[in-house]
Structure 1
């Protein structure tokens, strides 16, 4: 084997070794030192409209039920998708500051309960383009309840916290509801 062939073989071997070393699915684990955690408190109203010509929440799957459960707007096992407006006040014509987009399933067989996966995105003001996410059980017959905040993006990156809900109004016939949200977010 000549000198030139030997150099090429060594270079090729080094190239292969480096290629395999760089092809890992992870990087070295390093200590994390985040910025100072901050607390943000938010207050807004959530409008979930199931009725009318332009509902903000629609039924996408419904079980075949008979009996008293079948008359509910969201009987046990129903899956709803939503794009609900978030406003500064309880009136539907109040200034809109964002949207709650996601889905919820009617998950309480004997007690009306929703399990919600919702992204609360803001479209104006200081938090324009930011959102936080809720994934939690919502016992809708309780006037006041708490939902878990499990994440966020933008200014709410890595958010955790709690959303305290208070039913402002509800139409038991069609399911339309306005809910007051007081949210405490811990984020970086």
Structure 2
């Protein structure tokens, strides 16, 4: 059986790595085995689009973003360079926090640039409704927050999103300059089976 096209780059990379790692014997280690994708019953690949609002609340008794690493005192034009926050942010259908919740964004972000306000983000979109209930999408990327639209990659997922790949576009819907609370609209485009 031929290797599916989506596995070809991974397979070639793995073979090259193994040939460089084990040149003397030419044999892969005992713990590594090739498997056929047919037991996964992947079905037809499809493209799905989601739109929801991400609520990052850094103040009050119900804060969904907690600072876990304070920025060190450094010479930087961005005073928060180096901070890290853990998040468990609600995701809703509409920009109002009281609208229907579709899931939670769980992970962390931190200030990663000394020249501009940019975050490195690592989060799972944990869906809690409908057919996608219990499934996740993983987003890891750079978020230059002062740009109108920011793009970050979807690098994987679980549940109905196994083998997922795609991208998100984030745009700030509202930002409270006094509290730091934000509502961000996410448009998600993901290929999955």
TM-score scaled by length of structure 2: 0.78
Structure (1 or 2) with the larger CA radius of gyration: 1
Q: CA deviation at 1:35?
A: 2.9
Partner of 2:190: 185
Query: Across the two proteins, how many residue pairs are aligned to each other?
Result: 161
Question: For structure 2, which runs of at least 5 residues remain unmatched after alignment?
Answer: 1-28
Q: How does 1:92-107 map to 2 (within 5 A)?
A: 92-107=97-112
1:35 matched to 2:40: no
Distance across 1 between alignment mates of 2:190 and 2:153: 10
1:159 matched to 2:167: no
In structure 2, the CA distance between the partners of 1:177 and 1:135, relative to structure 1 (3 Å rule), is same
Question: For structure 1, which runs of at least 5 residues remain unmatched after alignment?
Answer: 1-22
Q: CA deviation at 1:66?
A: 7.2
Partner of 2:131: 126
Q: CA deviation at 1:174?
A: 2.3
Distance across 1 between alignment mates of 2:69 and 2:145: 20
Q: CA deviation at 1:124?
A: 1.1
**Structure 1 residue aligned with 2:66, among 43, 52, 58?**
58
Q: CA deviation at 1:173?
A: 2.7
Distance across 2 between alignment mates of 1:119 and 1:66: 31
Q: Secondary structure at the match of 2:131?
A: helix
Deviation string 1:119-158 (CA, Å, 9 cap, x unpaired) is: 0001111210111000000000112111110000001111
Distance across 2 between alignment mates of 1:146 and 1:64: 28
RMSD: 1.9
Give runs of ≥4 in structure 1 deviating > 6 Å. Answer: none
